[in-house]
Structure formats: C-alpha cells, structure tokens
Structure 1
Amino acid sequence: MLLLPKREQDDHVPRFPKRYSHFVYGVIQSGLTSAIAGAIACLPFFSEGSFFSHWIASWLISWATMLPVVLLAAPFIRKLTDALCRQENTT
C-alpha cells in the first residue's frame, strides 16, 4: 500500500503536517520495536497459552516507557550520526 500511487479518494485521510514527522516516526519506531522485543520476551508463555495477555501487557508498558526516550534521544542520536558519518562524493 505504501508503494502505490496516491489515489483521489485518499485525500480525505487526515495527515500530520511534515514538521511533526519526527514524532510520527518515533511513535511508529518505538511501537514496533517494543512489540517485537515484548513478543520475544514472552515466548516462554506460548506453551502455557497465555502468550497474548503477557505480550500485550509487556508491550504497552515498554512502549509507554520507550516512546519518551526515543523522542527525547532522537536529536542527540541524529547529531551523533552526523558526526560519525561523512558526506559521500556524488560525482
């Protein structure tokens, strides 16, 4: 769906202004990362049949914890990344 061209009926979908893209990225990135980490940590509960309840609880706690960390650390990480990488020659 992300690779498809924009259709006219998609115009009614509300979108965030571009200036908030770092927040949107942080929410998506922290949510996905904590969901995967929580699932891995809860694998022992799979055999007991209580995987989902343990996973959803651990995911929500870890996401609530990591979201502010990701949003607050992002500017520092961006500056550190810029300091560690060099510009490539395009010619």
Structure 2
Amino acid sequence: MNASNQHTILFGIPKLPARYATVVMPLLLSILMTCIVSLISTFKSIGMSPQFTSKWLGAWGISWLIAFPVLLLVLPVVRKATAALVRPA
C-alpha cells in the first residue's frame, strides 16, 4: 500500500481522525452484532417466509437503535472490567 492510500478508506474518502475511534468502534460493533442476532432470531421465529426480509430489517433497525446508545454507555465499564481481569501485555 503506498503512502497516499494509507490516509484514505475508498475512492479518496479520507480516514477519520483517531479521536472518533470511541464512536466508530461501537457503531460498527452494534451494526454487526444486531445484524447477526436479529437475522438468527427472525429466521428461528418465522423461517424463510416471504416476509422474512422485511421482518428482519425491522427487527434489525429497532435492535440497532437500542444497541448503539447502550454500547456507548457500557463500553467504558466493560473496558475497566476487562482491565481488572486481564494482565497488561
């Protein structure tokens, strides 16, 4: 990777400054986790029915709206608990 690509994400879009990592990490984590959990839960509940996609997307949206702010609130507590349980490198 050359030097000009290290500062961009895709198509010349610049990377965010490091100070945004505290928001970007829970954002990505909440998107992925709610996607997977709602997909499994919806599939278990209604199976592969014609309404599966709309039901799943609705469940995903609601669960993400709850999960993202919760992650922002609890992540500092989880970091402290992890530091109490794990030796430093």
TM-score, reference length from structure 1: 0.81
Tell me the residue number matched to 1:45: 46
Alignment-derived partner of residue 4 in structure 2: 8
CA RMSD in angstroms, aligned pairs only: 1.9
How many matched pairs? 84
Which residue of the partner structure matches residue 35 of structure 2?
A: 35
Runs of at least 5 residues in structure 2 that lack an aligned partner in the other structure: none
Whole-Å Cα distance in 2 between the matches of residues 55 and 22 of structure 1? 28
Q: Specify the alignment match of 1:68 in structure 2.
A: 69
- Aligned counterparts of 2:82 and 2:2: Cα–Cα separation in 1: 32
Distance 1:54 1:36 in 2: 14
Distance 1:27 1:87 in 2: 26
1:48 is displaced (CA, Å) by 2.2
* Structure 1 stretches of at least 4 aligned residues deviating more than 3 Å after TM superposition: 6-11
CA distance, structure 2, for counterparts of residue 21 and residue 49 of structure 1? 39
Q: Structure 1 CA distance, aligned partners of 2:59 and 2:3?
A: 38
AA aligned opposite 2:81? L
Unpaired runs of 5+ in structure 1? none
TM-score (norm 2): 0.82
Identity %: 32
SS in 1 for 2:26: helix
